[in-house]
Structure 1
Amino acid sequence: MTTEYYSGPIVDAHHHFWQPAINPHPWLADGVLIPFRYGDYSAIKREYLPPDYFIDAVKHQVVETVYIDAEWDPQDPLGETEYIHTVAQRYGAPNAVVAQAWLDADNAAELLNAQAQYPLVRSVRHKPGGAANPQEAKAGKRTLMSHDGWLRGYAELAKHGLHFDLQTPWWNLEEAKRLAIDFPDTLIILNHTGLPSDRSPEGLAGWHRAMAQVAEVPNIVVKISGIGLADRPWNIDDNLWIIRETVAIFGPERAMFASNFPVDSLCGSFDTIFSGFKQAVSDLPYEQQHQLFCRNARRYYRTQQQSPAGQDSQ
């Protein structure tokens, strides 16, 4: 077996920028700590803008990035979109945006129309909640993906050519599969590898079954990111099988790598994580590696170059 570590351009398909001192992110406010899969996240309650990001990413050839909504005040979703466009205008990054939209809100149709007018918005995200563990899912607890009011909002996405970024644990993916089948014209981009946080044999088996089922539907793709573990440094031994199986399940044409920075800096450095990604797929043909690291994210998010990434254009 020959290996060739990927050395080409990278489009980071999932990251955040923020300025907690001036941005209304309730979960990043002083004195607030919500339950979080990585535990105490106080270390990321700091300003994080493109210059900070490109220092973290300096060892890798990141050429474009995709900003994901960061749970800005839900009373002002357009405020976040406006803010991140000013960041993009100043720094040349991000190059595409996943905006916030509460699909069960009374004004969901109006909001989606407004979000779609921004030049970098390609997708929206609304975490659908639901079962906290596989047992609750088996007992019948459902997410917003099964609620009529939410589905009315979801139906508006295709009218604007918007994708849906889905963040939900693997035990809710049966609902996601039904959603994708019922709305074939809307692309679902599954965030954070289906959240395989339970690394027991039973947990990994359940995750694998769920991912295989949802991958049967062609309008679902996946981002390989967010696979760190609480209180444990990110290392390839913990994550190699998950990375390899995700690529095998979805194929290199329907998966993409992402940093989830600065959140995943709680688990490891940018270099550790992306070097791990590169190691995990180094035996694949270089063209497939390019799909995973660059082409797929560029294609799905239609990234838009504005000025040299990481440089202040003012």
Structure 2
Amino acid sequence: MRIDSHQHFWKFDPKRQDWITKSMKPIRQDFLPEDLKPHLDSFQLDACVAVQAEESNSETEFLLDLAEQNEWISAVVGWMDLADPDLDQKLEQYQPKIKLKGFREVLQSKEPHYFLRKEFIQGLKTLHKKGYSYDLLLYYHQLPAIFEMIKKVGEQRLVIDHLAKPPIQSGRWKEWRKSLKPLAERDYIYCKLSGMVTEANWEDWSYEDLLPYMEISLELFGPERLLFGSDWPVCLLAGEYEQVYGVIENFTDSLSTDEKGLIFGKSAQEFYQIKSPKS
């Protein structure tokens, strides 16, 4: 399967999506499955992973409803308060929803004490027990604290969204690489080749600006733990879907067919435990 491992859907509401500011005009509108499907078809992508864009239980239900209506939405990453004392029971209620594969919070807006709390750590352990993955949305300067967190959790499946938002505009990659390396050494942690264009200069980025970050990610994680993700429609702030896809296509052209297949689907299929459609 060929999979876009990271995209979003929403019915735009300035109160619910308050992170979409007035300066983000291209994405201040509805984005639904019928808007994404032509892009997937254009690049022979079989499926996608719908990731939460709002911190609410209703967001999870919204994405699950869309996944039920569209078989090509193969996985949902919902939202959950991991410190909820009723987490175990709430996850149990979701067990019949087989497309719900994991959860995510917007950790990039949190201080380290938030995700180093014993309640949060216990929440991650509960996810592990129930078989769910966790997406890490954060900035690279938070990685050392995240490393302390994962040492307390055990081998919980984790994926780093958007390469932990490296400093692409400045081109200063050394500190980012140093912080990322200890996490990459744990084989249950994956990384998404996504979100790069919006960390670069929105108006004036180039393939060469992104290349060092892709090369380092490949060096650290290998193709078997790298996932292609468009970050559509957020990517529209800096580039069209075809431009974002083209960056990864160009980068992987030097790899073997099998390695390219890992990045464009098999790694996502393994991480999110997505079953291939019956032939």
Q: Please, what TM-score do these two structures have when normalized by structure 2?
A: 0.89
The answer on 1:119 being equivalent to 2:98 is yes
Deviations 1:243-289 (A, max 9, x none): 12111111111111100111111111111111111111211111101
- Distance in 2, matches of 1:304 and 1:85, equals 17
| 8 Å contact kept, 1:15–1:66 | yes
- Distance in 2, matches of 1:26 and 1:304, equals 36
The answer on 1:301 being equivalent to 2:240 is no
In structure 1, give the amino acid aligned to 2:268.
A
Determine the structure 1 residue equivalent to 2:133.
163
- Distance in 2, matches of 1:33 and 1:101, equals 18
The answer on 1:246 being equivalent to 2:217 is yes
The range that moved more, 102-111 or 261-270, is: 102-111
Which ranges in structure 2 are unaligned for 5 or more consecutive residues? none
Q: 1:7-18 maps to which residues of 2 (within 5 A)? A: 10-18=2-10
Deviations 1:46-86 (A, max 9, x none): 221222102234431110110101115x2xx1x33332232
Deviations 1:113-149 (A, max 9, x none): 3334411111111223467xxxxxxxxx624221122
**Which structure has more RCO (C-alpha within 8 Å, separation ≥ 6)?**
1
When residues 128 and 210 of structure 1 are mapped into structure 2, their CA distance, relative to the original with a 3 A threshold, is same
Q: 1:18-37 maps to which residues of 2 (within 5 A)? A: 18-20=10-12, 26-28=15-17, 32=18
- Distance in 2, matches of 1:237 and 1:96, equals 32
In structure 1, give the amino acid aligned to 2:219.
A
The answer on 1:91 being equivalent to 2:70 is yes
When residues 91 and 151 of structure 1 are mapped into structure 2, their CA distance, relative to the original with a 3 A threshold, is same
The answer on 1:275 being equivalent to 2:269 is no
Determine the structure 2 residue equivalent to 1:287.
258
Determine the structure 2 residue equivalent to 1:68.
51
- Distance in 1, matches of 2:155 and 2:183, equals 16
2:191 to 196, 199, 222: 222
Query: Which of the pair has more CA radius of gyration?
Result: 1
| 8 Å contact kept, 1:130–1:142 | no
When residues 64 and 298 of structure 1 are mapped into structure 2, their CA distance, relative to the original with a 3 A threshold, is same
- Distance in 2, matches of 1:58 and 1:268, equals 18
Q: 1:72-151 maps to which residues of 2 (within 5 A)? A: 72=55, 74=56, 77=57, 79-129=58-108, 142-151=112-121
The alpha-carbon deviation at position 198 of structure 1 amounts to: 4.8
User: Does the residue aligned with 2:66 lie in a helix, a strand or coil?
Assistant: helix
Q: Over aligned residues, Cα RMSD in angstroms?
A: 2.4
Deviations 1:94-116 (A, max 9, x none): 11111101112333333333334
In structure 2, give the amino acid aligned to 1:288.
E
Q: Which has the higher helix share?
A: 2
- Distance in 1, matches of 2:205 and 2:244, equals 7
Q: 1:204-223 maps to which residues of 2 (within 5 A)? A: 204-223=173-192
The answer on 1:196 being equivalent to 2:166 is yes
Deviations 1:215-250 (A, max 9, x none): 112221101100112532553122111112111111
The answer on 1:44 being equivalent to 2:27 is yes
- Distance in 1, matches of 2:144 and 2:112, equals 10
Deviations 1:135-188 (A, max 9, x none): xxxxxx624221122112222111210111111111111222233333233111
- Distance in 2, matches of 1:33 and 1:190, equals 20
When residues 101 and 221 of structure 1 are mapped into structure 2, their CA distance, relative to the original with a 3 A threshold, is same
- Distance in 2, matches of 1:45 and 1:214, equals 35
| 8 Å contact kept, 2:185–2:220 | no
4+ residue runs of structure 1 moved beyond 6 angstroms?
Answer: none
Q: Percent identity?
A: 21
Q: Please, what TM-score do these two structures have when normalized by structure 1?
A: 0.80
The answer on 1:266 being equivalent to 2:237 is yes
- Distance in 1, matches of 2:146 and 2:95, equals 23
The range that moved more, 172-181 or 220-229, is: 172-181
When residues 90 and 34 of structure 1 are mapped into structure 2, their CA distance, relative to the original with a 3 A threshold, is closer
Matched residue pairs, number?
277
